[in-house]
Structure 1
Amino acid sequence: MMMMMKKNTSYLVTFAAVALFVMMMMSNMSVSRAACVAMELQPCLSAIATSAPPTALCCAKLKQQQSCLCQYVKDPNLGKYVNSPNAKKMVQKCGVAIPKC
């Protein structure tokens, strides 16, 4: 009987460890993908509008939203801003690669 309890406990511990590992991996996946929310780039508006140097916050937000840039380019409301000369300068100054869409 004691051997059976040890075996069941071992299975439970293994199951709990695997479940914890899977949960950690799933949470890392959701964190690594930024949601495409154009309003997150609001700190970059002055750099786009006036050609002012981008702030550190702007560059950080731009890097978070980098995977969304093609989506923004294709959006009729946002494309003209993303494709503007000032936006292209800002992206370069922030060290973000300009995607080929």
Structure 2
Amino acid sequence: MSYASCIPVMIVMTVLMVQVNVGMAQGCNPLQLMPCLSFIMSNTAPAADSQCCNVLHGQNSCLCSYVKNPGYGPYLRMPGAKTVASACSITIPDPSTCT
């Protein structure tokens, strides 16, 4: 992915992540998932001990609220998100099973 094509993606992600979602559990901060964005967008697997996997494990209890959020959910349904989740030994929940 070229630098020029990353800029619009980063702008969109920043705008979406700045929005406050009152329904998210305390401690949930989707901005912490930024180290995973390039892996998701390029559909590449990070190393299991990467910063991406570390923050993903830390935000694991928040994934239901993220996947149900119309701003974040589409990114978590991308093929790259499944690649990242698998590499990090995390399961991205199905929104229909989240309570």
Same fold (TM over 0.5): yes
Match of 1:49 in 2: 41
By how many angstroms is 1:41 displaced? 0.4
Alpha-carbon distance between aligned partners in 2 of 1:51 and 1:69, rounded to the nearest angstrom: 19
Q: What is the SS of the residue equivalent to 1:40?
A: helix
Is the Cα contact below 8 Å between 1:49 and 1:86 reproduced in 2?
A: yes
Alpha-carbon distance between aligned partners in 2 of 1:82 and 1:46, rounded to the nearest angstrom: 13
% identical aligned pairs: 42
Match of 2:28 in 1: 36
Q: TM-score, normalised by structure 1?
A: 0.62
Give the greater-gyration-radius structure (CA). 1
Q: Which runs of 4+ in 1 moved over 4 A?
A: none
Give the length in aligned residue pairs. 69
Higher RCO by CA contacts (8 Å cutoff, separation 6 or greater): 2
Alpha-carbon distance between aligned partners in 2 of 1:66 and 1:87, rounded to the nearest angstrom: 13
Structure 2: gaps spanning 5 or more residues? 1-24
By how many angstroms is 1:52 displaced? 2.2
Is the Cα contact below 8 Å between 1:34 and 1:64 reproduced in 2?
A: no
Structure 1: gaps spanning 5 or more residues? 1-32
The code of the aligned residue for 2:35 comes to P
Pair 1:96-2:95 in alignment = no
Is the Cα contact below 8 Å between 2:76 and 2:92 reproduced in 1?
A: no
Q: TM-score, normalised by structure 2?
A: 0.63
